Structure 1
Amino acid sequence: MVPVFPFDLTLPAPGSGTLAQSLHQQLRAAVLDGRLAAGSALPSTRAAAQALGVSRNTVVTAYDLLVAEGYVLPRPGAKAVVAEIAARRAGKPPRAISRHLEDDRLNPLWRTPFMRPEPPRQLPERCFRLGIPDHRHFPHDVWRRLTAQSLRAWSRTRFSYPPSEGLPELREAIAQHVAFARAVACSRDDVLVTSGAQQAFDLLARLLVTPGQTKVAVEEPGYPPLRAAFAAAGARLVPMPVDDEGLCVEQLPHDVRVVSVTPSHQSPTGVALSLRRRAALLAFARERNAVVLEDDYDGEFRFGARPLDALQTLDRDGLVFYIGTFSKSLFPSLRKGFIVAPAWARDALASVKHCADSHCDTITQAALAAFIRDGHLARHVRHMRPIYAQRREALLGGLQRELGDWLEVIPSEAGLHLAARIRQPRQAGRIVEAMHRCTPGAQSTADYAMLSGPPRALTFGYGVIDADEIGRALRRMRRQLLV
């Protein structure tokens, strides 16, 4: 017999009078336990009869019973399909699992709300969401051409596994880019390509953390995905306060071995780590045999005076891991980031990457390498800087003019968002409510905090919202607060 069902059927001998009943029962059981999936088409009665060695009337009778019971849906002129059945599994139902996934078979770290991502928010395309660049001004035609070139080259030469560290040409391009844009001194050998900054955090957590022992200082408030990566690796997180000079270095506990910081544009307050504290942080790391993770997530966009040197630039002792991403300068779905690692950690970091992910995809790596090498990234950043600067000025002026009675802008000269402190904490609740109603995508810094507490500031992104829309939204928020 040629099989027509994805499982064996055992039928009684012909002439027993129970062929149709047996076929019906076995097909019904297959529907209930999922062997016949919802929406799958049953073989035609003629094909089933021929394959099973029974009369067509036997199959028609079995199918008709399944239709009558609601297990199969007939379709005029087409094959019948299996219906969606609420309780498909036979036997004892699985034990109920709460919305917090409290199942003792799971690692406790993945059972907590702190570690689980929230569902994507439904936001309008033009909004105050943080960390999203404007795709309308991206050179799509250039990217399509470079991707096509990369695909043609890949089809000829790149069917094998590429290096875990990343394609050599992309690593070379990144080294030249960060040297030009941020004065980060490095060579191709120092660069490891990652699937975005979040994979960089995960790899560094695997590399640097001894579970249950290593203390990692994180900014409070700070970037939640970084905290999640280190918590999942078993680190003991130490939340550190942030003020107008950035991370409060003088309060670091003596036994901290990893310090994570966003010195160019603190996430989410936007302040820059002062030169005094940069020097103090490097001295702390040198004296305590610690390392520093420098997350420079949107350092390409500067709107003020000459930026302070990167920590990696000031480092003379191999203390700093410099982390960058192209999600802000280009687009998030590119999923390309990188780590500039000290020489002593390069081989071990490459081993971690190889174990965790083997390699990033070669097609977008090659396209990105060409995009950087041919000057398109630098031109795109130069093109976008005045566009973002106009929006930043509209946001800065609007916050001061429309909402100055409630909010105080926190000084910031980089990135794609601004933050503003709430002047009177007792009004925080109604201010946050007005923010959600009138400026979709904006967030409270409480959303970035590890410790519970009242909102202290609001953050407004200007990457995907035009200047005139910013003004209208802030005027609506003012009217809301005056009610």
Structure 2
Amino acid sequence: MDLHVNLDDRRDLAGQIYRGLRAQVLDGRLRQGERLPPSRELARRLGVSRNTVGVAYEWLAAEGLLVGHVRTGSFVQAPPRPRQTRQRPGAREGKARTRALWSQLPEPSLQGPHAPFDFRVGVPDGALFPFETWRRLVARQLRASALTAAYGEPAGHPALREAVARHVGVSRGVRAEAADVFVTQGAQQALDLVGRVLLEPGARVAVEEPGYPPARLLFQSQGARVSPIPVDAEGIDVRALPDDTRLVYVTPSHQFPLGTVMSTARRQALLEWARRRDAWVIEDDYDSEFRFGGRPLETLQAMDTTGRVLYIGSFSKVMLPALRLGFLVAPPSLHRELRVARWVTDGHGPHATQAALARFIDEGLLARHIRKMRREYEARHRRLTEGLTLRFGDRVHVAPSVAGLHLCALLTRGSVALERALCERARERGVNVEGLSGYYAGRATQAGWVLGYGAVSVKGIDEGLRHLRDCLTHLDATTRKDDPSRDVTPRRSTPR
């Protein structure tokens, strides 16, 4: 262990060492049972005599903070204590000044312990992941012969770029070569790179409403003016796009969170709009691997003839979010700028993980894994859809959805206040569920739930919906009791 002990001057050296180590023990930096360096070694590091360190150790032992064992060394003997926040010198003098934007953005809502009935959105089933196979592939890349001391390519591991180009070409019809692929740490980093390259401060970005909050918040953090654009049954309303929009972010294959699919006519209209306005389109192909019915429409990227579309994908749902693996398919006109942007931000991603994923794809293991997950998630999607219809009847409308890891249930009667009360009461009963209103940038025009089924079993779906129905029944009764004359305004049962 490397210990830092501050020696202000050459007087009372043993006392300074004693007080420095004592402070670290008492405030919890040195914990019970930790081994201190031998006196000879610490003396050499501090540039003092061994006897000086020995005296400091003896004082700590006399105070009961240190115990020495022959041949094994000296160990911290202090009982466990709650660690206290230390006040740094000068910390009282003023508050750090940061960009005002960062105090306005919400703090990240980290996923806590799993609830008994976990309908969180965007969480895959980790039990389905082939850990043994993945461990073997990663171990192969961690051998000395596979690693290098040099820094990696900012655009990603060459083998993985090749593999991704083939994968999206075969599975989604994306037209891409290896040079078009940039490997990222998730879709969020891909969005960050695009924003860094394309957006000047104050540029306008259009996002779907309701839509994916992390994308909207990211563009806001980059100084863009973000405009939420309504989504209807065919996708984003192209007619509502401001003329000065520089970038449009859409999820056409499985709109997040409503689950609708952008029609061919709307896709063509968006591409034509981008061509006329000299704008760019980000196509986030969210959850496209898990399609349970219907014919998949051609991607915007494949339809694009003018090089205006940037295609984004992620392996977080088909594998694990913790691996932080995603990709961006970009037109040649942006290759240089994106490569430089990646280089100046974090350089490159982890070599071994990317190389292992390349083998995972090339050996057909990814395709096999996706087929297995698709069967399981289709069963959960069907059970959730049937359960909502059976238990809630006309109180909810299940938004049409044939893909992904979640679906949206819209309240046909009730308000956003009722939605939020339902979510809060459900959590008290062990049901983790998210409200639709949280996905609006502005005032929510529809209330409901967004229900993920990646982290809940088929059996758990039935039980969780029963609890959710009980919560709704209770709140309905409470509302009638508190205000029998209250008029609950019916809401449209289909997305705008």
* TM-score relative to the length of structure 1: 0.85
Measured at CA, do residues 107 and 374 of structure 1 come closer, stay the same or move farther in structure 2, by a change above 3 Å? same
Question: Residue type matched to 2:346 in 1?
Answer: D
Q: Percent identity?
A: 39
1:140 aligns with 2:131: yes
1:471 matched residue in structure 2: 462
Distance, in Å, in 1 between the alignment partners of 2:4 and 2:423 is: 58
Aligned to 2:233: 244
Matched AA of 2:434: Q
User: Do structure 1's residue 108 and structure 2's residue 106 form an aligned pair?
Assistant: no
Q: Which amino acid aligns with 1:129?
A: R
Q: What is the SS of the residue equivalent to 2:159?
A: helix
The SS at the match of 2:123 is coil
Answering whether residue 295 of structure 2 is matched by residue 297 of structure 1, we say no
How far apart, in 1, do the equivalents of 2:109 and 2:396 lie? 27
Deviation at 1:306, TM superposition (A): 0.8
Work out whether 1:191 is the aligned partner of 2:190. no
How many Å separate the matches in 2 of 1:48 and 1:135?
A: 46
Using the alignment, how far apart are the partners of 1:226 and 1:47 within structure 2? Answer: 52
User: 1:412 matched to which residue of 2?
Assistant: 401
Distance 1:482 1:56 in 2: 71
What SS does structure 2 have at the residue aligned with 1:155? coil
1:274-353 correspondence runs (5 A): 274-353=263-342
Distance 2:56 2:166 in 1: 71
Cα shift at 1:42 = 6.8
Check conservation: 2:138, 2:353, Cα contact below 8 A: yes
Q: By how many angstroms is 1:263 displaced?
A: 0.5
Partner residue of 1:436 out of 427, 437, 441:
427
User: What is the identity, as a one-letter code, of the residue corresponding to 2:221?
Assistant: A
Q: Which residue of 2 aligns with 1:15?
A: none
Contact 2:206 2:241 in 1 (8 A): yes
Aligned equivalent of 1:73:
65
Equivalent position to 1:273, from 262, 273, 277 = 262
> One-letter code of the match for 1:359?
H
Query: How far did residue 8 of structure 1 move?
Result: 2.9
**Residue number in structure 2 paired with 1:155:** 145
Give distance in 2, aligned partners of 1:350 and 1:57: 55
Would the alpha carbon gap of residues 125 and 299 (structure 1) be closer, same or farther in structure 2, given more than 3 Å must change? farther
Partner of 1:94: 92
Equivalent residue letter for 1:269: L
- Residue 245 of structure 2 aligns to a residue whose secondary structure is coil
The 1:7–1:182 alpha-carbon spacing in structure 2 relative to 1, beyond 3 Å, is same
Q: Note if 1:366 corresponds to 2:355.
A: yes
Instruction: Give the distance between the partners of 2:53 and 2:180, measured in 1 at CA.
Output: 71
Cα separation, partners in 2 of 1:348 and 1:34, compared to 1, 3 Å: farther
Q: Which residue number in structure 2 is paired with residue 200 of structure 1?
A: 190
Quick check: 1:245–1:271 contact (8 Å CA) kept in 2? yes
- Aligned partner (choices 242, 255, 260) of residue 249 of structure 2: 260
User: Which position in structure 2 is the counterpart of 1:7?
Assistant: 6
Matched to 1:94, the amino acid is: R
1:403 Cα deviation (Å)? 1.6
| Alignment partners' CA distance in 2, 1:4 and 1:259 | 52
Give CA deviations for 1:422-471 in whole Å, capped at 9, x if unaligned.
Answer: 11133434433344345733211222222244762211111122212111
Aligned to 2:122: 131
Return the alpha-carbon distance in structure 1 between the equivalents of residues 359 and 97 of structure 2: 47
Structure 2 unaligned blocks of 5 or more:
475-496
Cα drift, residue 398 of structure 1: 0.5
Instruction: Give the Cα–Cα distance (whole angstroms) in 2 for the partners of residues 61 and 187 of structure 1.
Output: 68
Supply the AA of the counterpart residue of 2:374.
Answer: R
Q: Which moved more, 1:466-475 or 1:424-433?
A: 424-433
Mapped pair 1:377 → 2:366? yes
- Structure 1 residue aligned with 2:484: none
Preserved CA contact (<8 Å) 1:438 1:474: no
Q: SS of the residue aligned with 1:352?
A: helix
2:125 and 2:363 mapped to 1: Cα distance?
22
The number of aligned residues is 459
Indicate the residue corresponding to 1:422 in structure 2.
411
For the 8 Å contact 1:196–1:335, the answer to whether it is kept is yes
CA contact (8 A) 2:124 2:317 kept: yes
Q: In the TM superposition, what is the alpha-carbon distance from 1:44 to its structure 2 partner?
A: 8.0
Structure 2 letter corresponding to 1:315 = D
In structure 2, relative to structure 1, the CA distance for the partners of 1:410 and 1:437 (3 Å cut) is farther
Q: Tell me the CA shift for residue 348 of structure 1.
A: 1.0
- Aligned residues of 1:48 and 1:59 also touching (Cα < 8 A): no
Range moving further from structure 2, 268-277 or 122-131: 122-131
* Structure 1: gaps spanning 5 or more residues: 13-18, 97-102
Cα 1:181–1:56, aligned 2, differ >3 Å: closer, same or farther? closer
Letter matched to residue 92 of structure 2: P
How far the C-alpha of 1:197 sits from its partner, in A, is 0.5
Q: Does structure 2 retain, via aligned residues, the 8 Å contact 1:24–1:63?
A: no
Query: 2:6–2:16: 8 Å Cα contact kept in structure 1?
Result: no
CA-based RMSD:
3.3
Cα distance, 1:386–1:64 mapped onto 2, change above 3 Å: closer
User: Greater CA deviation, 454-463 or 167-176?
Assistant: 454-463
Q: Could you tell me which amino acid in structure 2 is paired with residue 145 of structure 1?
A: R
- 2:158 aligns with 168
Aligned-partner Cα distance in 1 for 2:154–2:57: 57
Structure 1 Cα separation of the partners of residues 220 and 421 of structure 2? 33
Equivalent AA in structure 1 for residue 229 of structure 2: M
Deviates more, 1:246-255 or 1:23-32: 23-32
**In terms of mean alpha carbon deviation, does 195-204 or 41-50 score higher?**
41-50
CA shift at 1:405, angstroms?
3.5
Q: Contact (CA 8 Å) 1:428, 1:454: kept in 2 or not?
A: no
Deviations 1:123-150 (A, max 9, x none): 2376211112222222222222222222
User: For the residues of structure 1 that align with 2:380 and 2:20, how far apart are their CA atoms?
Assistant: 62
